Structures are given as C-alpha cells and as structure tokens.
A and B are shown apart, each in its own frame.
Chain A
Amino acid sequence: MSLLELEAVTAIYGATPALFGVDLTIGEGEVIALMGRNGMGKSTTIKVICRLLKNPEGRVTFAGEDIANLPAHRAARRGIGLVPEGRRCFPNLTVGENLIASARPGEWDLGKVHGLFPRLKERSDQMAASLSGGEQQMLSIGRALMTNPRLLILDEATEGLAPVVRQEIWTAIATLKRQTGLSILVVDKSIAELRQIADGVVILERGSSVWQGGIADLSADVKDRYLGV
C-alpha cells in the first residue's frame, strides 16, 4: 500500500504558478529520489507535502488520509518528518535541546539518535549554531527522527558538504533504510550516491513529473534531457 500519494498536484508559489501536475507515489519502506534541474519544482513539491504551502490543488494523501489542507504541525504529527534544505536548526538551543524540543513519543528517542550519530552525543551541550555544516546536518536529521516520522524527507541533505562528510551522511541514510524500513523521499543531484539507496526516481521538469522509473532505468538520454548530465 502506498504511504504518500500526490495526484495531479498544482500549486502557486507566491504569485507564480510553480507546479503544473505532479504525480508521485511512495510505498511503505520505499526510498524515492526526486530529481530535476534547479527551479523545476522540487522544493515546492516538498512544501506541498509538508503543508508549508497553502491550498494546493489536486490530491495529496498520506496513509489514506487527505492532507491537502492540514496545518503544517498536524502533517508533522501524522508522521511527515522534514530535513529542510540549508539545515536550519534552532541556532540558539544546544544540540540536546534541539532534539528534546522536537521529541514526540515513539521508537526514536535521544539514545537511538545518539546511536546513529555518536557525534551529536559528544556535542550535546554545544550551541547548534557553533556546529560544523556536517554536524548541523546530522542534527537536522536527528531532529526529524525525534518526531518519529513514517516518511522522512531529505531536501538536499548533502549540499555544500565536504566529500568525507557527504559519505558519512549517505551511510547513515543507508543504515536507516536497512534497519528501520522508514519510507524516504530524497532530493539530491548525485546519481552515484542515490544508486546506493533509491528504489525509484521521479523527475520534475518545469513543475510537472515527466519521468518515473527505477534508478537503474535512468538512460543516458533521460539524464541528458532532464538532468543536464
């Protein structure tokens, strides 16, 4: 059964129409990569799913429920956990406080997050603003996990990080997939790394979903046409 389903979603971002028909399905335990060049609607699609964009048209269902008009905090409580682009922790809370402030009851707690990212335990009393980029990204993922999501959304999780740190983040995501069966929607550009974890790919082009399939099926032609690689 599918966990998240977007059907013919259109949305206006500010005063500009940004989505013209996005179809996207994520099953339980499935990892889907959302791809496309810059400005093609990836972030807007995520805003629609997380309910940060008001009044989209079309169908948005999560676990069988229509969530198109839910307030953002309710969507989060239903089980949609977002790791936002640009990380954005609460800068003036400590690492530990960032995690505690986001906690919702469930399997994921401080101990389990520390198990996945031991670095967050070491830095527990440090202000989030003083962390390195990679550590902030770990905190951001940890914070999303503390909400005990059923679907984890990673928006450009490795953008702007050093290669070693990127690999660390990808390894953690792969571990999550292997050990928890969490559904994941990941936005990223690096096909090589997505191959390790993604089951399927959805490509957006000018606000519409234009290609769906397995990551192995990405032909040179598709990559050239939609991804510019």
Chain B
Amino acid sequence: MLRESTLNIVIASLLLLVPVAALFLDEPFFITLATKVAILALAAVGLNLALGQGGLVSFGHATFFGVGGYSMGILASHAQSFTPLMEVPFLIEGTNSMPVIWLVAMIASALVALVVGALSLRTSGVYFIMVTLAFGQMFYYFTISWPAYGGEDGLSIYVRNQFPGLNTLDPIQFFGICYVILMLALLFVSRLNNSPFGLALAGARQNTERAQTVGINTYRLRLVAFVISGAITGLAGALFADLNRFVSPTMFSWHTSGEIMIFIILGGVARLYGPVAGAALFIVLEHYLGGLSEYWHIYLGAILLFVVLFAHGGLIGTLSKKERRHA
C-alpha cells in the first residue's frame, strides 16, 4: 500500500510523463488526451471542494463550466469578427488573450455561483441537488435559444487564444499551460482545506449544529466555498472551450454535471487527487472502451457501481488505504 502523498506524486508525474513521451514518440493525439484529462480534472477539483470538503452535492456544476466556456466563446468570437461586445454605455472589445479570458471566466462563474449558492444553500439534501440541477438546465435552454452566439449549433473559434510568449497551437505548450494551472489549483485547494476555513467547512459537513454552536456561520461559510468551487470549475470551462475551439450548450447539460461528479466518485471523494485520478481513468476508459463499443457507458456504469459498492474511497482510497481524512 502506498501513502496517499506518494500516490499523489505518482499521479502528477504520470500526467506529465505521458504527453512528454508522446511528444518524443510523435503521437500528438495522446498529448491532447492528457490535456483533456488536466482540464476535466480541474473542473472536478472545483466540484470536489464543494462536494468532498463541504458535503454539498451540487448537480449543477455544468453551470459554471458552461459560463466559463461561454466567457471564452463570447470574448474570442468578438475578437475574431473585430466587432465590439458592447458600445453603450462604454466600449468593451473582444479579446483573444488567455489570461484576460481566464479572469473574466472566473469572475463570471463566481458571480453566477454566488446567485445559485445563495438560493440553493437555503435548502439541503435532495432539494439542494434539484435546485442546482435546475439552474444548469436554465442556462442550457437559454444558450440553445440565444442565436447571437450560435444557439443550438454552438460557436466555433477558429484560432486558439494567445498566451504571452507561448505558441498555444502547439499541443505540448497548451498542455503545459493546463497542467500548471491544475497544479496551482491543487496547491491552492490543499492549502485551503487545511486552513481554519477548510477545517470549519469539513466540521460543518460532519455536524452542522455543532459547527454553529462554536460560532461558525455555516450558511456563509458554504456560500464562500461554493463560489470558490464555481470559479475553479469556470476556469476549467474556459480552458475546455479553448482545447476544442468550440463552445456549445452541451457544456451546460446535466450530463456534464454528472460526468464531473463521476470523476470524483471514481477517483475518491474528498481526496485531493481524487478528481485527477478519476478524470484520467474516465478518459482512458472512454478512449479504449469507446473504441470497442459505442455503448461503452454500460461498462462505465458497471465500474461505477463497483466503486460505489466496494471501493468507497475510489481509486485513491483503494490504492492508499489511508484513513479518510476530512471525509
């Protein structure tokens, strides 16, 4: 059995080594696959803060993923058509600068998370799940009927956005960007989880009433966690849109919310690297099982059932067997 921290290093190294090896073997497809893992893992890192640490079963994180994606799509489409986004009351131009897009994506999804969280956190249990799901579906149908940005057909961005000093169209360089962001997000979340804020959040999950009697405002605490969680998933959405150079309402659909949650369950709920392990496993399964059969989700369902019934800590829990911290 491995220590969880050792296992984390192994996973982080593997995710870095696979695309580097693919570069030398001239297999760019695997670089793109690894990039997809890094981005989807980032989306799940966001959800894991709410779901794992906070115990908030959000079935609407596609909302933030989509808001991040559309932030990128809208800004980049205006840059590509040289039309301003807005002229009155002041001029806002489109942009193809990644850092600006990331910032906008995070702020936009944080604001949406603030509204969704403020309403949904007044409920709990099944109601919380339903309210978050409803918000995702609202955005889904809204974008379908929003012709300005492609409606149901989505929006294509022909050239990948720019990052100063890098050629983002080179798969390995774009992978590098996504990998660094994922690592920074993991570092941030790990620090957050062990701070008084994160400990209070875990305490509130274990016993809400107890947390309140030591002076913790559980509503506000969860709202802040939900907003941070949404912003991280929103950033992943912007990167995902850049990876595909395409955004569509599918990003908002409940399938997306479900997939983000499946990454976490496969990898290990409340485990720092659970989202990374889960996203990697999911993409590998999708690639290989998807090659065998169009109905690969049947096998995925069986694996998921197995994990839920027999391997509670997911991949990380099964391999490390360490006591589940904060969970």
Contacts and interface: CB of A to CB of B under 8 A. Distances in A.
Contact of B212 (A76, A100, A146): A76
Nearest to A153: B213
A214 B217 CA distance: 38
B170 interface: no
A10 interface: no
B196 A88 contact: no
Contacts of A84: 210, 213
B207 interface: yes
A101 interface: yes
Contacts of B203: 90, 93, 98, 101-102
Contacts of B325: 92
A144 interface: yes
Nearest to B197: A101
Nearest to A79: B215
B212 A71 contact: yes
A92 B199 contact: no
A72 B202 contact: no
Contacts of B210: 84, 88, 90
B215 A93 contact: no
Contacts of B214: 76, 81, 101-102, 143-144, 146-147
Given A72-B209, A92-B324, A104 B215 contact: yes
B213 A50 contact: yes
B interface bracket (residues with beta carbon within 8 Å of A): 20 to 34
Nearest to B216: A73
B294 interface: no
Given A93-B326, A127-B323, A72 B206 contact: no
Interface in A69-118: 71-73, 76-77, 81-82, 84, 88, 90-93, 97-98, 100-104
Contact of B196 (A100, A144, A147): A100
A52 interface: yes
A93 B202 contact: yes
Contacts, number: 72
Nearest to A148: B215
A218 B8 CA distance: 63
A92 B196 contact: no
B202 A73 contact: no
Interface of A: 50, 52, 71-73, 76-77, 81-82, 84, 88, 90-93, 97-98, 100-104, 127, 143-144, 146-147
A151 B326 CA distance: 30
A82 B196 CA distance: 20
A147 B196 CA distance: 13
28 contacts: A52-B212, A52-B213, A72-B209, A73-B212, A73-B213, A73-B216, A73-B217, A76-B214, A82-B213, A88-B210, A90-B203, A90-B210, A90-B211, A92-B325, A92-B327, A93-B199, A98-B203, A101-B199, A101-B202, A101-B203, A101-B211, A101-B214, A102-B200, A102-B203, A102-B214, A104-B215, A127-B323, A146-B214
Contacts of A77: 215
B218 interface: yes
Contacts of A102: 200, 203, 214-216
Contact of B209 (A52, A81, A97, A143): A52
B80 to A, nearest CB: 49
Given A73-B215, A76-B214, A100-B196, A93 B323 contact: no
A147 B215 contact: yes
Which of B196, B213, B325 has the largest count of A CB atoms less than 10 A from its CB? B213
A167 to B, nearest CB: 26
Contacts of B216: 73, 76, 101-102
